[in-house]
Structure 1
Amino acid sequence: MRRFPRGGRTALAATVLTLSLALAAGTQAATAAPDGTAPAADSVQQYEVSDVVSAGDRTTLARTGTAIDEVRAETVVITADAAHAERLTDLGYHLTALTGPVERGDVRVAAPEDYHTYDETLAAVAEAEAAYPDLVSSQVIGQSHEGRDIVAVKISANVTVDEDEPEVLFTHNQHAREHLTVEMALYTLTELTSQYGTDTEITTLLDSREVWIVPSVNPDGKVYDQESGSFRSWRKNRQPNEGSSAVGTDLNRNWAYEWGCCGGSSGSPGSDTYRGSGPESGTETAVVADFVRGRTVDGEQQITAHIDFHTYGELVLWPYGYTYDETGPGLTADDAAAFQALGGELADTNGYTPQQSSDLYVTDGSINDWAWADQGIFSYTFEMYPSSGAGGGFYPPGDVIERETSRNREAVVTLLSYADCVYRAAGLESEYCAS
């Protein structure tokens, strides 16, 4: 299996242009032109929105149906088409357009071919399964809206037997344009298999844990964003919305806990944070949710810990996202202490910033909130590299892929080590962990 990414790409810098307010009506389309000029008025691009300082400010902005890409000290970065940018301006926000990546000397932009395609990802899984038949087994858990297979990969010693062991789930690529997360899935698959029998810690963990990896939750969106020859900055799935010409549901606002409760998603099909027509109305959400529910054996959920990988921001996030409160229904002070303790420990391994999800802004219908409240799974989101758009935003250059996936090796191992009882991270083993 190919372990290293193709292509050599270095980091890029965003430059700022003044936004003209003479914008025509926009539609969702591609990124900037190859020469670095601002995209046409019918395309999407990133904007910096000024005077958005607090979590409350960011939540207010998000409630307009705006997807926030990056949080800065007193501003945020968003992706919007011309019509949405003009709407925000009419609401009193000050926007500054950011140009797309450009080539300057030896600085080259990320290209779609830097990342595994959907078909290449499945081929890599099949190659690992053939090379390590005693460790790896894959299964199709359902199909996307357009009929592509959604695959779950199991890694464990004695992989063909469903043993009574703690299970850990890693999900990737809920948002189409976040291709680095698929590379993270393939890195984890490679590292766990190649190091079994060689690395004592990994060997011990795979002897006592079952690991599940879903490399692409949103294959239709991935293909649409990547395989036209240029990136489209597409976020949602590709499911049509009845009564609207707008396509797609934000899968990470479509989960069936506090769905649409709190202004943390949009009811407009044209929004990048459209929550769908109902909980689990997104084809892919329902597939993965059914898979997770199916891991309940004799009334007990076998999956104990989970990371949902996203880009970008270099963050470790935990529930709840729908409320600013640290505790809530089904989330006690001890639960919150365990989330925080393990979240901090995970962040210590990779240099990310640990925080409750709503410290950024309120979201509802997220996978983390659902996994904890509905299934009792200690569920985290990792926002991977870069920390800002200067590192490539959603499309970091290909030559950072190996570095930024391996950066999370210890976090993966740490989560596996606590899968038997996460409360141990907070010193609560006597109350919650069996001897």
Structure 2
Amino acid sequence: MNKPRFLHKRLCRCFLFFVLTALLASPVFFAFPSRANADHIDPVFEIKITDISKAQASRLTKSGVNVTNRNGTTIWAYVTEVQFQSILNQGFAAETVAGETRKDAELDSANYTDYPTYAEVASALSAFESSYPSISRVVDIGDSYEGRKLLFLKISDNVDVEEDEPEFKYISTMHGDEKIGTDLMLRLIDHMLSNYGTNADITRLIDGMEIWIMPLMNPDGYTANQRYNMQGIGYDLNRNFPDRIDDPANTLVNYTGDPRPIEVQRIMTWAFGQSSTLSANIHGGALVANYPYDSNSSGAYVYTACDDDDLFIELSLAYSTLNSPMYNGEFSQGITNGADWYTAYGGMQDWNYVWMGCMEITLEVSNYKKPPYSYMDGLWDDNRASLLAYMEWALRGVRGVVTDKETGLPITAAITAKSGSWESDFKVYTDPDVGDYHRILLPSDDPYTLTFSAAGYETKTVSGIMVQEGDAVRLDVEMDLKPCNFNCSNGPDLPDAVIALQVLAGLSPEIGNCTDARPLSGVQIGLEDALYILQQAAD
């Protein structure tokens, strides 16, 4: 006998329910060619699609198209030939993008004649160090795929000394065909070094923080005048960092087990040894300050706020407000939430915020990737004040040093903040060399509460912290070691519970002589110690 049709429908609905439940419970992975092993994918090229809706563009992203810009109903993307034909077959108005004009010889300034070559960038950084040896240092963090150096210039008043001060970084040109940022960074370095000691604002920045500037993250792509690096047929470096949605492991290999692009590995390895507070990565092709998140689980082009959304809006406005073309351009006030503009997975911005305890935005500083070089003087005028004003935010909020109460030595700790109904899961971390932390926060009439946690130490919470405009409020913290660390490991842990139970059984296990080997009573190991340890292990 045939079953009633309503029963078929019910079975189908049940089946769909279980399928959707399984999908929602699983990590979301999109098939991005820009994140695949570049040795095994087809070559890509840039296209422009017009008359495409936000929803349609979102579907292309989810299908694996590497969308790189969106302006109203026009998007730009990198695609393979197969993807391009598929887009055309769907009826979209798409065309390949020709290269942009690089230079207008008649309009070039007297001081600068063309975008600097990689060799000229490296030479300029070396010359800066030679001219200002007491406040600048070239730092080589490793080679690119083709063997070119990835170079930072570190700037600080005591450039070779670890101090209690925030670390700031600018990284430019991870897309090799976006040359503007490289030149801007060289101008910024020159401006800061040459005005140190005479300009009060610049002197305050150099004296008060550790500044890292990398003018060129993708020297191979820069030399070849292409977006991607030169590994295989190329990787998009700003799609290959860990991502909270589709690649949620902060490791040098991606979710497929393949090594990340070598330039991404260099940046990650360097960052693991730093404690950056604030940063920005610099691009060309649009005119906007972009803030987290860039990605979301649906892939839709919708506003996707992080816990510090209000703060990121202010950070972005700190830049755009002083840049008239950006502030008065196509984006309201010159800023945008990343995913509301278009979703991007594997970006450096979100990676810094989610894993590295560093607030980062993405700065698109020109609607053209490579405008005639004669435009650079004007672009420098547009961006100079913004670059310095954004940097200054690293000195705001709450700062201090976290130390061991007994020894006074610095502790590696994580710090979270909340105020009233607002609470952020974002963690900043102390610098293990000095123990200093720097948590940027908005001024507020409501007090903040900071929580400090560190392995082997009692969690400490400090309330009633008032943050005002200007310099960060000072809050130094001493932390107590957790008791019952009877084996003097990074405890208390389960082996310590075994020791406590052995003592209760009349045995004489070996007990360490470290400060935190003390029992809760301070006198004799008892049942309460075993229970305490088990609770700590459970937490």
TM-score bucket (shorter structure): 0.7 to 0.9
1:25-424 equivalences under 5 Å are 44=45, 46-47=47-48, 49-54=49-54, 56-78=55-77, 84-96=83-95, 114-225=114-225, 234-240=226-232, 247-258=233-244, 260=246, 281-295=260-274, 301=275, 303-323=276-296, 324=302, 326-327=304-305, 331-332=306-307, 335-351=308-324, 352=326, 353-386=334-367, 393-421=368-396, 423-424=440-441
Gaps spanning 5+ residues in structure 2: where? 1-41, 249-253, 297-301, 327-333, 398-439, 451-466, 468-472, 475-539
Instruction: Work out whether residues 134 and 158 of structure 2, in 8 Å CA contact, stay in contact via their aligned partners in 1.
Output: yes
Aligned to 1:24: none
Larger radius of gyration: 2
SS at match of 2:335: strand
TM (norm. structure 2) is 0.59
Q: Deviations over 1:150-176 (max 9, x none)?
A: 111101112121212111110011111
SS at match of 1:114: coil
Instruction: Work out whether residues 326 and 336 of structure 1, in 8 Å CA contact, stay in contact via their aligned partners in 2.
Output: no
C-alpha spacing 1:279/1:206, structure 2 compared with 1 (3 Å): farther
C-alpha spacing 1:402/1:277, structure 2 compared with 1 (3 Å): farther
SS at match of 1:288: helix
Aligned to 2:423: none
C-alpha spacing 1:191/1:57, structure 2 compared with 1 (3 Å): farther
- Alpha-carbon distance, 1:280 to partner: 5.8
SS at match of 1:174: coil
- Alpha-carbon distance, 1:81 to partner: 6.5
C-alpha spacing 1:140/1:256, structure 2 compared with 1 (3 Å): same
Q: Deviations over 1:45-88 (max 9, x none)?
A: 543x123232x333222234434344222222345575543231
Instruction: Work out whether residues 140 and 150 of structure 1, in 8 Å CA contact, stay in contact via their aligned partners in 2.
Output: yes
Q: Deviations over 1:113-159 (max 9, x none)?
A: 82111110000001111111111101111111122111111011121
Q: 1:278, 1:314 → 2: CA distance?
A: 36
Q: 1:151, 1:204 → 2: CA distance?
A: 24
SS at match of 1:401: helix
Q: 1:277, 1:106 → 2: CA distance?
A: 47
- Alpha-carbon distance, 1:378 to partner: 0.9
Q: 1:219, 1:191 → 2: CA distance?
A: 23
Instruction: Work out whether residues 105 and 374 of structure 2, in 8 Å CA contact, stay in contact via their aligned partners in 1.
Output: no
Which gives a bigger RCO, structure 1 or 2 (Cα 8 Å, sep 6+)? 1
Instruction: Work out whether residues 304 and 339 of structure 2, in 8 Å CA contact, stay in contact via their aligned partners in 1.
Output: no
Instruction: Work out whether residues 50 and 74 of structure 1, in 8 Å CA contact, stay in contact via their aligned partners in 2.
Output: yes
- Alpha-carbon distance, 1:428 to partner: 7.4
What is the identity, as a one-letter code, of the residue corresponding to 1:405?
W
C-alpha spacing 1:278/1:182, structure 2 compared with 1 (3 Å): farther
What is the identity, as a one-letter code, of the residue corresponding to 1:402?
D
Q: 2:270, 2:201 → 1: CA distance?
A: 28
- Alpha-carbon distance, 1:100 to partner: 5.1
Q: Deviations over 1:254-273 (max 9, x none)?
A: 111336359xxxxxxxxxxx
C-alpha spacing 1:414/1:280, structure 2 compared with 1 (3 Å): farther
What is the identity, as a one-letter code, of the residue corresponding to 2:357?
G
TM (norm. structure 1) is 0.72
Instruction: Work out whether residues 46 and 76 of structure 2, in 8 Å CA contact, stay in contact via their aligned partners in 1.
Output: no
Instruction: Work out whether residues 218 and 284 of structure 1, in 8 Å CA contact, stay in contact via their aligned partners in 2.
Output: yes
- Alpha-carbon distance, 1:320 to partner: 0.8
Aligned residues: CA RMSD? 3.0
Q: 1:281, 1:101 → 2: CA distance?
A: 30
Q: 2:99, 2:161 → 1: CA distance?
A: 49
SS at match of 2:380: helix
- Alpha-carbon distance, 1:236 to partner: 1.1
What is the identity, as a one-letter code, of the residue corresponding to 1:235?
R
- Alpha-carbon distance, 1:182 to partner: 0.8
Gaps spanning 5+ residues in structure 1: where? 1-26, 30-43, 226-233, 241-246, 263-274, 296-300, 387-392
What is the identity, as a one-letter code, of the residue corresponding to 1:306?
S
C-alpha spacing 1:251/1:201, structure 2 compared with 1 (3 Å): same
C-alpha spacing 1:415/1:101, structure 2 compared with 1 (3 Å): closer
C-alpha spacing 1:119/1:98, structure 2 compared with 1 (3 Å): closer
- Alpha-carbon distance, 1:429 to partner: 8.7
Higher deviation after alignment, 117-126 or 93-102: 93-102
Q: 1:158, 1:191 → 2: CA distance?
A: 19
Q: 1:52, 1:149 → 2: CA distance?
A: 41
What is the identity, as a one-letter code, of the residue corresponding to 1:187?
R
